Structure 1
Amino acid sequence: MLRRLRPLAALALVGAVLSVAGLGSLAAPAAAACAHPDTATAIGNAQAVFTGVAGAGTANGAAFHTPIAVDRIFKGDVAASVVQVRTRAGSCGLGALTEGSTYVLMVTAKGGQLVASGASGTALATDALMAEVQAALGEGTPLNAEPATPEVDFQLVGDATPTPALRAAAPGIALALAGLLGWFLVRRRFA
């Protein structure tokens, strides 16, 4: 009887191994789609990186629209002091951003909206995350910051001293007198 069960047991074992391998290969792409990239990769993929405080958001199905009061811009163009950021619910989404919390937002523009996903790198602004962002992009600039006034340094060139007005005008006066004298002589000759 054991001889009859051996082929069935072997077949069951092979089937179990193949089904686990098949499920493992199906689960891997789903996990890869929701993988959170390291900060440097997320910064490179983002069109804009900035910090801001989340306001009261609204839900529209599985999407959340949250106003963000922009504080500091590290990458990209963020012209408004308050921008709307769209997030999604679900295993790969960020869900609703917590009102009053400060976030580092790494967003892309899609259809005229700024979009942050679970894989975008957007997260609460912890000291560790801020250190990574500042190491990659510098201190950032505050929104509506006044540009630094350049320092102007005037230097004297050689021994330059201003030319007196009469001396500068002398060549023009001489040409005007020569023209008048020539006109007077030509007029007298034909008169």
Structure 2
Amino acid sequence: MPTSPRPAAAGPAFGPALGLVLALLGVLAVLGLTGPAAYAAEDPSCTRQGVNMHARQAQAVFTGTVVESKASALEDGQRGVRIVHQVEVSEVYKAARVSVAAELEVVTTRNVRGECNLGRLPEGEDVVFFVKAETTDGEPADPVVFLAAGDSGTAAADQDLLDAVDRILPNPVPPVPASPTGAEFEALPVDAPTPLGRAAAPGAALAVLGVLGLFVVGRLGRR
């Protein structure tokens, strides 16, 4: 007697949903390890290693606001763009062998081959900067100009990132005040010097009068 075919076992109906949940958990785990997301680097090969490592590798860590930025092509015919950001600094969390002024420049790059480019930072937004000083012959420029790469950790100053930085680098300090403008002195009018003869004349006249007075007194005394 032929047997009827056994019905195939039905797979769990929640298989796709379970896969989606596991993928989401994986993303959350990665975010938990790396900390708050920084600005997206242009080069996908750039990797970020979490707030703790960014703070250790940075020469300076501070918060500030981008006031304006200016882009220019690289010199010597190199491909790419250099972007200089004018930044007003709020608080300084780290400054290793450099001073962080209240107003300074932060440089990023765009389309530079072989570099981890960060691109232009948004103006008017509070930012946490993880940067290194730009050097010439191994020495920082004066005033100091800072570099922010795509894998530096530089990011918008959301509360999660600020809390993480506070835990790693507590007790921030104010930036170095901007140098006061030079004092201005008003030039006062100066009279022309008096000739020597004119300057000596009053003294000579007094001396003559003194001699005549002594002579008159002497004559009167002998009478």
Same fold (TM over 0.5): yes
What is aligned with 2:221?
A: none
Gap runs ≥5 in structure 2: 1-42, 74-80, 136-140, 178-223
Q: Equivalents in 2 of 1:66, 1:42: separation in Å? A: 20
Whether 1:69 aligns to 2:91 is no
Task: Give yes or no for contact 2:130–2:154 (8 Å, CA) kept in 1.
Answer: yes
Corresponding residue SS for 2:68:
coil
Q: How far 1:88 moved relative to its partner?
A: 1.1
State, as a whole percentage, how many aligned pairs show the same letter. Answer: 30
Q: Match of 2:83, as an amino acid?
A: F
Q: Match of 1:37, as an amino acid?
A: Q
CA deviation string 1:131-159 (max 9, x = no partner): 110000003112258xxxxxxxxxxxxxx
Pick the structure with more helix per residue: 1
105, 114, 119: which is aligned to 1:95? 119
TM-score, length-scaled by structure 1: 0.56
Q: Match of 1:116, as an amino acid?
A: A
Corresponding residue SS for 2:87:
strand
Aligned pairs for 1:64-143 within 5 A: 64-76=83-95, 77-90=98-111, 92-111=116-135, 112=141, 113-143=145-175
Q: Match of 2:164, as an amino acid?
A: E
Deviation >3 Å, runs of 4+? none
Task: Give yes or no for contact 2:92–2:100 (8 Å, CA) kept in 1.
Answer: no
Q: Match of 2:146, as an amino acid?
A: L
Gap runs ≥5 in structure 1: 1-29, 146-191
- The CA RMSD measured in Å over matched residues stands at 2.0
Corresponding residue SS for 1:105:
strand
Task: Indicate how the Cα distance of structure 1 residues 106 and 51 shifts in structure 2: closer, same or farther if over 3 A, else same.
Answer: same
Q: How far 1:79 moved relative to its partner?
A: 3.8
Tell me the number of residue pairs that the alignment of Structure 1 and Structure 2 aligns: 115
